[in-house]
Amino acid sequence: MSTPTYLIRRVLQAVAVILIVTIVVFALLHALPGGPARGILGPQATAQQIAAFDHEQGLDKPLPVQYLYYLGQLAHGDLGTSYTLNEPVSQLITERLPKTLLLTVLSAIVGLLLAVPLGMWQAVRRNKPVDYIITTLSFIAYSTPVYFLGLILVLVFSQALPWFPSQAPQGHTLGQVLSDPQGLVLPIAAGAASMVAVFSRYMRAATLENLSEDYVRTARAGGSRSRAILWRHVFRNSLTPVVAMLGYYVPVLFGGALVVEQLFNYPGMGLLFWTAAQSSDYPVLLGCVLIISVATVTGTLIADIVQRIIDPRVKAGRS
């Protein structure tokens, strides 16, 4: 498959997935107590207001028509208005999404930079004490709820040892957030922990598999040293499936960001979402679900394309 054909197909797939997500969100909208009108106008709305809204928004029309109307609104970037903050949801999200992306991307980078060498180290020292210790620690990190880990981090590195602030940097813009790198340390650590656990396992498995491949034997037969084979051949070949897994991991990263932001009071989408859930601010909740899903689909798409770039075989339509 040529690259343009692949891109078109892959993007169409992503669009199909997003359409399915909009159906889910639309269904949730109709599952709201009192229906979408109550959900969007808020708990203080009167019966007349609701009737007027229903008529005006076409909510007395059949469901498929309503769905198309809903899609039309989305196409115009209209996600409704928050009834606690009284601001358009799209504006609230535009302001906070970059900050959440910053947090997740930094967590992912830190997580990968630790996980990849750890996993390779484990594979090379398979079934030695180091391997067992890292495996045990990985499972522990994976098994710890992020909010519990965050609490422990704060108790140890902020209260007992006053190294880092327990609050994330505040601010409206990315620049303001980045101006206080100290404050980002604990949130990133909490977000990266389970990523290190999961990806060191993947990397260990991929490295082990590649170490037993025939090409390693060929390289040894050509006089290459173990270390050279590991870095020149096994490393790249093991990294490819790990990058593919990264696509699947994007939703987990966003889920983690939700808890981390709440815990450290980080002014991103997770916190916005959390606050909206406390006050049943449905337009914000559903808008966030939709945007996070679009972000996830985009993240997966990018991971696929990156994999295609680093693995020439995928490009040729094989795997």
Partner 1 sequence: MTADHSPAAPAAGPILRLDDLGVVFTTQSGEVPAASGVSLSVDPGETLALVGESGSGKSTVALAAMGLLAGNARATGSATVAGTEVVGAGEAALAGLRGRTVSMVFQEPATALDPLTRVGKQIAEVIRNHREISAKDAAAQAVELLGRVGIPEPDKRASAYPFQLSGGQRQRVVIAMAIANKPALLIADEPTTALDVTVQAEILDLLRRLAAETGTGVLLVTHNMGVVADFADRVAVMYRGEIVETGPVEDVLLRPSHEYTRRLLAAVPRLSVAGEGVPETARVATPATHSAPASAPAEPVVELDDVSVVFGRGRGAVRALDGVSLTVRHGETLGLVGESGSGKSTASRVALGLIRPTRGTVSLFGTDLARTRSRARRALRSGIGVVLQDPVASLDARMTVGECVAEPLRVHRRALSTRERQERVAAVLDRVRLPRDVARRAPRELSGGQRQRVSLARALVLEPRLLVADEPTSALDVSVQEAVLEVISELQAELGFACLFVSHDLAVVQHFAQRVAVMRAGRVEEQGDTGTTLLRPETAYTRRLLAAVPVPDPVVQRSRRAERLTTLAAGRTEATA
Partner 2 sequence: MSTVIPPGRAPGTATPAKSAAASGTRLAVRRFLRNRLAVVGLGVLVFFVLFCFAGPLVYSTDQTHTLLHQVNLAPSGAHWLGTDAVGHDELGRLMYGGKVSLIVGLAAGVLATVIGTLWGAAAGYAGGWIDAVMMRVVDAGIAIPALFILLVVSAITTPDLGGLVIILGFVSWLVPSRLVRAETLTLKNRDYILTLRAIGGTHARAITRHILPNSVSTIVVAATFQIADAILLVAYVSYLGLGVQPPATDWGGMLSAGLTAAYSGYWWLILPPGLAIILVVWAFNAIGDGLRDAFDVRGRG
CB of 248 to partner 1, least distance (A): 21
Q: Where are the alpha helices (DSSP H) in the chain?
A: 3-31, 35-41, 47-56, 63-75, 89-124, 129-143, 146-154, 174-178, 181-211, 214-221, 226-229, 235-264, 269-278, 282-310, 312-315
Residue 244 or 260 having the CB closest to partner 1: 244
**Max intra-chain CA distance, the chain:** 84
Partner interacting with residue 107 (select from partner 2, partner 1, none; CB below 5-8 Å by kind): none
Partner interacting with residue 300 (select from partner 1, partner 2, none; CB below 5-8 Å by kind): partner 2
Contact 159, 166 (CB under 8 A): yes
Residue 178 or 237 having the CB closest to partner 2: 237
Residue 44 or 48 having the CB closest to partner 2: 44
Paired with 88 in beta bridges are 81
By CB under 8 A, residue 222 contacts partner 1: yes
How many C-beta neighbours within 10 Å does residue 155 have?
A: 12
Query: Would you tell me which residues interact with partner 2 (CB under 8 A)?
Result: 13, 16-18, 20-21, 24, 28, 31-33, 132, 135-136, 139-140, 142-145, 147-148, 151-152, 155, 159, 201-202, 205, 212, 217, 245, 248, 251-252, 254-255, 258-259, 273-274, 276-277, 280, 282, 285-286, 288-289, 292-294, 296-297, 300
Residue 55 or 225 having the CB closest to partner 1: 225
How many residues contact partner 1, by CB under 8 A?
26
Partner interacting with residue 1 (select from partner 1, partner 2, none; CB below 5-8 Å by kind): partner 1
- Position among 9, 128, 172, 232 found at the interface with partner 1 (CB under 8 A): 232
Classify residue 173 by its DSSP letter: S
Distance between CA 220 and CA 224 in Å, rounded? 5
By CB under 8 A, residue 318 contacts partner 1: yes
Contact 93, 291 (CB under 8 A): yes
Amino acid 13 reads Q
Amino acid 32 reads L
Stretch that binds partner 1, among 137-145, 148-156, 194-202, 217-225 (CB under 8 A): 217-225
Distance between CA 173 and CA 184 in Å, rounded? 14
Structure tokens at 256: 């983690």
Classify residue 88 by its DSSP letter: B
How many C-beta neighbours within 10 Å does residue 294 have?
A: 15
By CB under 8 A, residue 219 contacts partner 1: yes
Q: Give 188: exposed, middle or buried? Use CB within 10 Å, 0-12, 13-18, 19+.
A: buried
Stretch that binds partner 1, among 61-69, 95-103, 291-299, 309-317 (CB under 8 A): 309-317
Stretch that binds partner 1, among 33-41, 44-52, 166-174, 213-221 (CB under 8 A): 213-221
By CB under 8 A, residue 214 contacts partner 1: yes
Partner interacting with residue 115 (select from partner 1, partner 2, none; CB below 5-8 Å by kind): none
Residue 153 or 178 having the CB closest to partner 2: 153
DSSP reduced 3-state for 58: coil
State the residues that interact with partner 1 by CB under 8 A. 1, 213-215, 217-226, 232-233, 236-237, 240, 310-313, 316-318
